[in-house]
Amino acid sequence: MGTSRFTRPKGLDGESTPNLFVANCGPAVGLSLDEIASAFCKFGEVCGVYPADESGARVIVSYSEVGSAQAALKALDGHSCSDLGGRVLHIRNSILRPPSQELLAAVDGRPWKSLSKRRVQHYGYEFLYEARNVNTEQQLGELPHFVSPILEKISLFPHIEKAEDVTLDQLTVNEYPPGVGLSPHIDTHSTFEGLIFSLSLAGPCIMEFRRYSQGTWLPSSLSSTGMQEQNPDYCSSFTRRSIFLPPRSMLLLSGEGRYAWHHYIPHHKVDMVRDNMIRRGSRRVSFTFRKVRAVPCQCEFPQYCDSQK
Percent of the chain with pLDDT over 70: 84
Give the pLDDT band (50/70/90) at residue 222. very low
Give me the residues paired with residue 105 across strands.
Answer: none
Q: Is the pLDDT of residue 165 over 80?
A: no
Q: Is the pLDDT of residue 224 over 50?
A: no
Segment of 25-29, 154-158, 165-169, 222-226 carrying the highest mean pLDDT = 25-29
Give the pLDDT band (50/70/90) at residue 38. very high
φ/ψ of 88, rounded to 5, equals -85, 120
pLDDT at 301: 85
Residue among 126, 120, 148, 22 nearest 76 (CA): 22
| Least-confidence region, from 3-12, 47-56, 106-115 | 3-12
The amino acid that residue 130 corresponds to is E
* Mean pLDDT along residues 288-301: 88
Residue among 181, 150, 188 nearest 168 (CA): 150
pLDDT at 98: 61
291 in Cβ contact with 197 (< 8 Å): no
Q: Is the pLDDT of residue 3 over 60?
A: no
Segment of 85-94, 157-166, 225-234 carrying the highest mean pLDDT = 85-94
Can you tell me the distance from the alpha carbon of 292 to that of 187, in angstroms, rounded to the nearest whole number?
11
pLDDT at 167: 86
Give me the residues paired with residue 119 across strands.
Answer: 114, 175
Residue among 149, 21, 175 nearest 94 (CA): 21
> How does the average pLDDT of the chain come out, rounded?
83
Q: Is the pLDDT of residue 9 over 60?
A: no
pTM score: 0.66
Give the pLDDT band (50/70/90) at residue 49. confident
Rg from Cα positions in the chain: 22
Give the pLDDT band (50/70/90) at residue 143. very high
Q: Is the pLDDT of residue 209 over 90?
A: yes
Give me the residues paired with residue 90 across strands.
Answer: 23
Can you tell me the distance from the alpha carbon of 37 to that of 2, in angstroms, rounded to the nearest whole number?
23
Residue among 184, 238, 243 nearest 211 (CA): 238
Tell which wins on pLDDT, 2 or 260.
260
pLDDT at 299: 80
Tell which wins on pLDDT, 179 or 158.
179
